[in-house]
Amino acid sequence: MAVRRLLARYGEDPDCLNEVVLILECEWGGAGADSGRIRDHFHKLVAGRARVRCMIWKDGNGRDDPAVVEWLAGMMGESVETGPDDLYLLARYTAYGFQYWHLCGSGTVYPM
């Protein structure tokens, strides 16, 4: 029940969902994870409506490639579903460990 309250808000009727608080997508594939699979999972986040959207992925080549984050920010900014108050949290695992960012609906990328 506690997890249910964290991830969604219900009205007086416990079977009536009012708001989704968090959507999470993960791509932990091997080589090639930087291409279509990350894009496909991120598209689901953009289309979903939640206060916070989170994307976690493992860099398929184990390298530190900052272009992937900019690419995701561009996809978010081009979407008609993106609103100015949207918040995305990104976590990427590379050979150097985890790296974190947050994106605002305006498309601005902030390293964490």
pLDDT digits (tens, 9 = 90+) for 36-86: 778 888 888 888 888 889 999 887 665 556 677 888 888 887 887 778 888
Q: Is the pLDDT of residue 101 over 70?
A: yes
Q: Is the pLDDT of residue 33 over 70?
A: no
Q: Is the pLDDT of residue 2 over 60?
A: no
Q: Pick 85 or 33 by higher pLDDT.
A: 85
DSSP one-letter code for 83? -
How far apart are the C-alpha atoms of 33 and 19, rounded to whole Å? 31
Q: Pick 28 or 35 by higher pLDDT.
A: 28
Check residue 5 and give its pLDDT: 43
pTM: 0.76
How far apart are the C-alpha atoms of 12 and 97, rounded to whole Å? 43
| Joined tokens for residue 99 | 């790296």
Q: Is the pLDDT of residue 35 over 90?
A: no
How far apart are the C-alpha atoms of 24 and 19, rounded to whole Å? 15
